[in-house]
Amino acid sequence: MAGSKGSKYYDIFLKYSLWLCTNEEKGIIDENIINLLKSIKKTGSLKSAADEIKISYRKAWGNIKDSENHLNFKLVEKQRGGKDGGHSTLTQDAETLINAFNELNAEFNTAINKITKKFFNKINN
Amino acid sequence: MAGSKGSKYYDIFLKYSLWLCTNEEKGIIDENIINLLKSIKKTGSLKSAADEIKISYRKAWGNIKDSENHLNFKLVEKQRGGKDGGHSTLTQDAETLINAFNELNAEFNTAINKITKKFFNKINN
DNA sequence: TGCAGACATGCAAATTAAAACATATCGACT
DNA sequence: AGTCGATATGTTTTAATTTGCATGTCTGCA
């Protein structure tokens, strides 16, 4: 889809989203959590990360907790107290998931492009 | 992901969803609408379709209206009055979208299987 | 040893989404 | 002409999410 000019389907595009979950549909690792994790890695704290991606600290904290509970392993190593009040870092598992997610997205992007090209010829005009 | 037994990532699965939208992220045709359209085709009315897929008539009607507005063409031909109070049928455009969506899903499914196979070996153990 | 500031968490308040409800319209068939 | 049941929509409730608030914990450092 999204192809030859003049077709009524010209400006329609195919999109997708990916997520990881445990068997019972639970423990979803979606783009939101991935972005949160990336921001934690970048900023060094859950709080700054929540601020950066503009969600409440309460929610950020709750989401991570939920994911960890469903996955049965930790994603974030959190430290309370200290000079700056505390800080957080990602576990190796979280890094693994981020990399996997990134690579999967890249692969899918390629796939989507191929599929799209193949289709718009058939659909339009 | 979701691969070799014994790995801590063993029961994590990759899921995805596809949708069609116009350039500005609007006019989303997702699996829900596709199912609604299929049900309208099968049952012959918006009302029976809404009942079948268990959403309110109000919502079904609103969703279709929104999609049509964003796409700028009609998906459903609706008839009021008459023996049975009224009925609805799909337009050719709706049929086209359903077929495209189905085929795109099939293509994507093939792609996801390939990509998944390629990945779980790398991720697990 | 007390302060600062992030982590931790329950709970109430606000926002958003969805369902229900209430009416009105339409038109082939009796 | 009157009926029946689906379409058409605005309005109101209800349910689900999020945010916001309050309060407490922890610990390196001045």
pLDDT tens for A9-33 read 878 888 999 998 887 666 689 999 9
The enclosing H or E element of B92 equals helix B92-123
| Beta carbons within 8 Å of B16's beta carbon, 6+ residues apart | A16, A17, A18, A19, A108, B108, B112
Identity at B28, one-letter amino acid code? I
Lowest mean pLDDT among A4-13, A49-58, B27-36: A4-13
Question: Does A65 reside within a domain?
Answer: yes
User: What's residue B12's pLDDT?
Assistant: 85
Give the CATH number of the domain where residue A89 resides.
Answer: 1.10.10.10
Q: Is the CB of residue A106 less than 8 Å away from at least one CB of chain B?
A: no
**pLDDT of B112 higher than 70:** yes
User: Stretch B5-20: mean pLDDT, rounded?
Assistant: 81
Q: How far apart are CA B51 and CA B54, in angstroms?
A: 5
Question: Does A44 reside within a domain?
Answer: yes
Q: Which residues touch strand D (CB under 7 A)?
A: A 54-56, 58-59, 62, 80-83, 85-86; B 45-48, 57-58, 61, 65, 78-82, 84-88
Q: Is the CB of residue B112 less than 8 Å away from at least one CB of chain A?
A: yes
Question: Does A88 reside within a domain?
Answer: yes
User: What's residue B1's pLDDT?
Assistant: 53
Question: Does A19 reside within a domain?
Answer: no
Q: How far apart are CA B99 and CA B106, in angstroms?
A: 11
Average pLDDT value over all residues in chain B: 87
The burial class, CB within 10 Å (0-12 / 13-18 / 19+), for A67 is: buried
Q: Where are the alpha helices (DSSP H) in B13-91?
A: 31-43, 46-52, 57-71
- Domain that includes residue B99, residue range: 31-108
For residue A72, the chain B residues in CB contact (below 8 A) are 8
**pLDDT of A125 higher than 50:** no
Question: Does B124 reside within a domain?
Answer: no
Question: Does A7 reside within a domain?
Answer: no
Regarding predicted confidence, which is higher, B14 or A56? A56
Pairing of strands B86-90, A86-90: unpaired
Question: Does B96 reside within a domain?
Answer: yes
How confident is the model over B17-61, as pLDDT tens digits? 999 988 766 668 999 999 999 999 999 999 999 999 999 999 999
User: What's residue B10's pLDDT?
Assistant: 76
Binding-face residues of B in 14-53 toward A, CB within 8 A: 14-23, 27
What is the domain count for chain A? 1
Q: Where are the alpha helices (DSSP H) in A12-91?
A: 31-43, 46-52, 57-71
Identity at B64, one-letter amino acid code? I
For residue A19, the chain B residues in CB contact (below 8 A) are 14-16
Question: Does A123 reside within a domain?
Answer: no
Q: Is the CB of residue A123 less than 8 Å away from at least one CB of chain B?
A: yes
Average pLDDT value over all residues in chain A: 88
